[in-house]
Structures are given as structure tokens and as C-alpha cells.
Chain A
Amino acid sequence: MNFSVVTSQFWPLLINGLAVGLIYVLISLGYTMVYGVLRLINFANSEIFMVGTFATVIVTRDVFHYTSAHDALHGWKLIASLLLLLIASMLFSGVTAVLVELVAYRRLRSKGTNRLASLISAIGTSIMISEGVRILTKSAPVPTPRLLSKFNLFTIGSVAIRIDTFMVIIAAALIFFLVDRFVTKTLLGKAIRAVSMSEETSKLMGINLNRVISATFLIGGLVTGAAAFLYMQVYENTVFNIGFNLGLAAFTAAVLGGIGNIRGAFYGGLTLGLFEQFASAVIGGQWKAVTVFTVLVLVLLFRPNGLFGEAIQQSRV
């Protein structure tokens, strides 16, 4: 174990852990919101993320016609380009999420089939999307041209904060805040929470179940798409199976925080992101997954509803 790295690299590890953790938070919202209304894990959420990363590449490369030979952008052109990319990534992922709901869930739900049928259907849809992209890309990693120059935005003490890391932290926190407000304050948000609490009662209260479920998939997809955009600004590479590890991490974060609980996803994602960074630096990258899942099992042994599940039931989706 190398504890000295914590003292010498504490702030970079903390900042990077926050950035990774907040990306997990956004992806885990896709899992946790769908679980909230359907009590099912949407296994296709990792592919919804992957679609978002490819949307970023396609728009950058084929719509904006930027190549790796271009210089990074500056000023309003940069801001406008990033905003358009964010919107495109969210739209692609959002539409994919709604289609997944229509194809993998709705018909089976309307037929009153076993929940396991929907689960398998979602896994099948996930594999279809992933393999489709694999064939189209011939399995090759796909880089995106760099729009955002990776300069140090400011320095706190001896720690330089890079523009892309800063953008991820601020944007992801803001998006989470907006989703949380949306679910707690708007009429549709209340309907989503009502369905989450009791599907039958919600129907009796006149809530259109299909519309609410579609809206939940759409919001989950939009947020996952935003995560994909932010991820691509930092790592600039994607591949057909990019969603697998990240999706697994985000799902773990959702369970850690208390699945079905929006604020639980926030705390779970941040905890996981920070824990991964520090565990990786101290114990070694090869033990990262082992330590994370050991902690998850221990947490669930003592708190079966997740780390923050019981304390914040009020904000359940």
C-alpha cells in the first residue's frame, strides 16, 4: 500500500474523484429513476450512455466538421459548440431510452407478463444496441476531436484545476440539482413519485401510467446523455462497449446510495467516485473493483436499503 501518494496527491485525487463521481451520479439517475417507477433494472442504460458518447463524436466530426487537425475552440464559438453537443447527446440518449421503453418494456407490461420477461427483454435490447454499434464501428475505439483545450483554469494553493474537470463538476452538479427540483416540484415530477409509491393508486387518481413511465425513461435518458457528453470532454474516446464498466459502476452507485432514491444516487455516485480514486492510488488499480464491491456488500449487510436509503425516503422517485 502506498499511503504517501494520498499526502502528495490528495487534491488531484479529490478533484478527479469528484468529477468521476458526478458522472456516475448522472448515469445512476437513469437506473434509479426507472427502478423507482417500474421496480426493474434498466440494463440498457449502459447502451443509452454509449449512444450519447457516439452522438458527441458524430456531431463534432460530421456536423461541425471538426477534425483532430483543428485547433481547440475559444470564446463564444466554444460555448455554443459545447451547448449544441450537450443537447445533441441528451437528445440521442433520450430518444434511445424512450425507444427502449417502447420495445423492451411497454408491450410486455401491457400483456401483464412476468417482470423477469421485461428484464430479459431489456438485456436483449442492450446487447442488440451494443452489437449494432460494434458492427458499424468494426469494434474500433472512436476518438472525438478536441474542442476544449485542456488548460488549467485556476490554481488553489498548489493544485491546478483543469477546465474540463471543472466543467464536469459544475455542469453535473447543476444537472443533478435541476433533476431533483423537477421531480420534487413539478406536476410531472409529482406524478412520477406517485407512480413510484403505488402504481395502482396512481391509476385510480387518473395518472396516465404509460405517459409517466415514458417521461421517466426520457428524463433518465436525457441525464445519461448529459453524462456521456461530459465524459467525452474529459476522456475523448468511446467504443461500442464503453457503457459496460461505467454502467456497472453507476448501477453500483445507485444501489450504494439506495436504488430508487434520487438523492441516494447522488451520494452513492460521489462516494464511489472518490473511493475508487483513492483506493486505486493507495492499494493499486487491480484492487479497485474488489474494494468497491467489498464495501458495497458490507454496506448492504448492515443497511439493506443502501447507505442513504432510509434517511431520505421522502425524495424517493
Chain B
Amino acid sequence: MNKNTKRILAVVGASALTIGALVSTSAQAAVTSVSLVFQGPLSGSDALAGQDELLGTLTALQMYNDSKPAVKVTLVKADDQGDPSVAGPVSQGIATNKSVVGIIGSAYSGATIASFPAYKAAGIPMVSQSATRATLTDPKASDNGFPIFHRVVPPDSVQGPALVRWATEGVSSPKVYVLDDLQTYSTGLVGFMAPQLAKQGITGVVYSHQPKGTTDYTSEVSKIKASGANVVIYAGYYAEAGPLAKALKDGGYKGVFASGDGTVNAGFVTGAGAAAAEGARLTAPDFPFSGVANAAQKAAYTKATGEPISKADSHTYVVSSFDATNVFLTCIKAGKLTRPAIQNCINSGTFDSMSGVKLKFGRYGDVVGGAPIGGFKVVGGVITYVAAK
């Protein structure tokens, strides 16, 4: 290679590097919009749960858009039906969308686990509003979501004991019957009830299972009656909890019916009928929207959803969805517009929640310091917040 050739190559190389740098810089500067994904059940038997949560996300986005931001955020709705077998393919499709910088969700624990492979491979950070299975943030568990998974709600290791306390509160000589639907969320929740039951000195607990999708609970009611239980705790979702509560009432059961956050949905009362649902004790790491939202948030809710604020409390996980969405929006406002930048922002930042508590995520994705569990009761056909449990 002679001197001239070297010179020409050097000039071409330098030019190429300069052009490359310029293109790269202009490409960075050109990012004016990103996408966030809301993932949850938007169809199928659990659709009401996802549709409820979506309201919180829409409210947060409304406030973001009203602030005339420099970066436009597009919301992509990913319907995983709360079903792991659907969530796998859905997440694979989402992961290929280059504009997606974060996942609000998934709503259900099983669907969350099924989504991990795609999102971990693509490095897309997740902040769930309602996936409560403890193993999702357990470093020893094989199905944990480290390093991409975070959640704004406390895990079932907090909710399980709270549910037992609330279910048995004021019941003399409680005889407990625990029924689950064999789903990832439910079996996890049941696992955290046993220590609390033992702690309260409750023995002779019967554990039983009826798969999700069951419509006929008559044989289970026979078993419950045979066991002499006066407290039935159901770990599952509202679509099955409604028919179960109705079958219990029609079968002559007169004890306490209790369930976790999967049942805190107006669909439970609709499915059970107001009479059968009356008095049911429920828990959820969730609080009534109207109780914690400020005036601006309430106005944004009505603007985003078209619903009067009086209806907001009938929906579940609106507050936590608002908080999960806000984690991403805060990072985007701070100019973090790539998946790694947002991941770092979530790991290191501190975020405002609707209730005023500052959210800071621990290494494995749970909020440092935890959060209380809300106790609810069906009163007059309405799921009513009672107190923190």
C-alpha cells in the first residue's frame, strides 16, 4: 500500500466515522416518541380485571399528555387473557417492536412468568401493577424476573397472612377450608396462608382444588359441608369466585367466605348475586381511587375514561396501575428513552405514588419497605374498603 492510498483510506475512514457519528447523534436526537405496553387480560373470562387496571394507566397518560411533553408516548394494549399459554406468544411479538421501552404488567403472575423469556432476551423493563406471586422477586426461585421485573404491589407473602387474619377475624373456633384454582397466583397465595394459620393456632385446615374454569361447585360444597368448615378461603379469580359463593349460599353454607385480590372485582358480586356475595371478606394490595387521588388526578380520570369519579372505586388496581405507569413516565420525562436507560432509571430512581408514599425498588424488583394490604367487605352489593389489614 503506497502513501497516497493510505492517505485516501485515512480520509475515507475519518469521513465514515464522522458521518456515522453524525447519523447516530441525529438518530438519538430524532427520538420524539416511544411506546409503553399495557399487558393484561383484556378479553377472556378475566377481562374485567385488565379493563379495570387499564383505567389507571389511561389516567396517568392523560396527565402526562396534558403536561405537553417533548416525547410522545404511545400506549400499546397487549391482551394476554391472563393466560400463560397466550402470554408467551404475545410477549414474543411485543419484544420485536423496537419502539417499546417498557411493559406495564403483566397483570397476572402466571402470564408474567410466561412473558419473562421474551422480555429478558430483549431487555425490556417491566413494572407490574398486580402480579403478586412471591417467587417473581425471589432470587432463589427459578421463575424470578431479575433483572427486568419490578412491581408496585406487595407480594403474596404479605397478602397471604393478611387474608387469613381478615377471614378469621371475630370468628370463634374457626374451622378453615382453603380452596384454590391451581393457577400460579393462587397456589402461591395458599403457600403463604399455612404459616399464618399455624401461628393463629388453627388446626385441621382442609386444602382442596378446583381448576380454573369450573362452573359446577356442587361436589365441592358437599365436601365443605362434610368438613364442618365455618371459614372458606378461596384463592382464585372473580370469574369462579362468583359461582362458588352462589353455590355455597344455595347449598346452605352460613360461614365466612373470603378471598384475595383476584376476587376484588365488581364481576364477583355480579357472578355471585348480591345476596350470596354479601359479607364476603376480601383483601388486595389496593386502595379506593377516590380516597387517595388528588383533584388533578380525579379530573384526569374522568377526562381519560369518560367515567364520573363516583364509579372509580368499583374498579380494581386503578391506583397501582397509575403508579406503575408513572414509574415509566417519570423516566421518560427525565430523557431516558431506551430500554437500558429506563431500566437503570427504575433501579436507581425514587418515584411518587398516588398515596404519597415514595416508591424505591430493591435489587429484585419489590418496593423497599413494602406496602399495606387493604381489607374489603361486600356491603349492600358493593365491595367496600374497610381498613388496612
Contact = CB atoms under 8 A, between A and B. Distances in A.
Interface stretch (A12-20, A34-42, A263-271, A291-299): A12-20
B191 interface: no
Contacts of B223: 2, 5, 9, 281
A134 interface: yes
Contacts of B208: 284-285
Given A8-B226, A235-B215, A285-B208, A141 B239 contact: yes
B278 to A, nearest CB: 12
A289 B250 CA distance: 25
Interface stretch (B14-22, B42-50, B336-344): B42-50
B197 to A, nearest CB: 19
B254 interface: no
Given A5-B223, A20-B218, A138 B273 contact: no
A285 B223 CA distance: 11
Given A5-B222, A13-B222, A285 B271 contact: no
A13 B224 CA distance: 12
Nearest to A245: B213
Contact of B210 (A140, A150, A162, A285): A285
A140 B267 contact: yes
B381 to A, nearest CB: 9
B2 interface: no
B47 A138 contact: yes
Interface string B214-225: 111011101101
A13 B225 CA distance: 12
B219 A13 contact: yes
Contact of A237 (B47, B243, B250): B243
A236 interface: yes
B236 to A, nearest CB: 12
Contacts of B220: 280, 285
B242 interface: yes
Interface string B264-284: 000100110110000000000
B243 A68 contact: no
A155 interface: no
Nearest to A244: B213
Nearest to B243: A237
Contact of A139 (B43, B219, B243): B43
A236 B219 contact: no
A237 B215 contact: yes
Given A5-B226, A286-B210, A277 B45 contact: no
Q: A4, A68, A140, A288: which has the most chain B beta carbons within 10 Å?
A: A140
Contact of B222 (A9, A244, A276): A9
Interface string A147-180: 0001000000000001000000000000000000
A193 interface: no
B209 interface: yes
Contacts of B246: 235-237
A12 B250 CA distance: 13
Nearest to A4: B226
Interface in A235-251: 235-237, 239, 241-242, 244-246
Nearest to A131: B43
Nearest to B48: A140
A143 B266 CA distance: 13
Contacts of A12: 218, 222, 225
Interface residues of B, number: 32
B229 to A, nearest CB: 13
A123 to B, nearest CB: 18
B51 interface: yes
A12 to B, nearest CB: 5
A245 B215 contact: yes
Query: Interface size bucket, A side?
Result: 35 or more
A135 B267 CA distance: 17
Nearest to B381: A68
B182 interface: yes
A237 to B, nearest CB: 5
B273 A143 contact: yes
B211 interface: yes
Contacts of B242: 141, 143, 237
Interface in B33-56: 43-45, 47-48, 51
A146 interface: yes
A91 to B, nearest CB: 24
A281 B222 contact: yes
A159 to B, nearest CB: 11
B219 A277 contact: yes
A235 B222 CA distance: 16
Contacts of A286: 182, 209-211
Contact of A239 (B225, B239, B250, B274): B239
A241 B210 contact: no
B45 A239 contact: yes
A134 B45 CA distance: 9
A263 to B, nearest CB: 24
A229 to B, nearest CB: 16
Interface in A198-255: 235-237, 239, 241-242, 244-246
26 contacts: A5-B226, A9-B226, A12-B218, A12-B225, A16-B216, A16-B219, A16-B222, A138-B47, A138-B51, A139-B47, A140-B267, A141-B239, A141-B270, A143-B242, A143-B271, A235-B243, A237-B215, A237-B243, A237-B271, A241-B45, A277-B218, A277-B219, A284-B209, A285-B210, A285-B214, A286-B210
Given A235-B246, A244-B213, 16 more contacts: A13-B219, A16-B216, A20-B216, A20-B218, A134-B43, A139-B47, A140-B267, A141-B242, A141-B267, A141-B271, A162-B250, A239-B45, A241-B44, A245-B213, A278-B219, A280-B220
Interface of B: 43-45, 47-48, 51, 182, 208-211, 213-216, 218-220, 222-223, 225-226, 239, 242-243, 246, 250, 267, 270-271, 273-274
